Amino acid sequence: MPELPQDPIMLYSVLNTKLRDRYSSLEDLCEDLNVSKEELEEKLKTVGFVYNRERNQFV
């Protein structure tokens, strides 16, 4: 699996695509990719995005 982008805007785009196409939740994505949910949320929060569980995407 390719590494996730370090740039928060690119990370936002990649994660939302993966959440839309493959994962039913952020937890599933993090478990499958072996990444920290908290670290992803903190990185995206720095540019104003938060995870919306009902929409299963960062908004």
The pLDDT assigned to 2 comes to: 58
Question: Quick one: what percent of the chain has pLDDT higher than 90?
Answer: 95
CA distance 43 to 59: 13
**Position 52 pLDDT exceeds 70:** yes
Which residues make beta-bridge pairs with 52? 57
Model confidence pLDDT, tens digit, residues 5-28 = 999 999 999 999 999 999 999 999
Is 1 a residue whose pLDDT tops 50? no
In the DSSP assignment, the letter for residue 50 is: -
Whole-prediction pTM value? Answer: 0.93
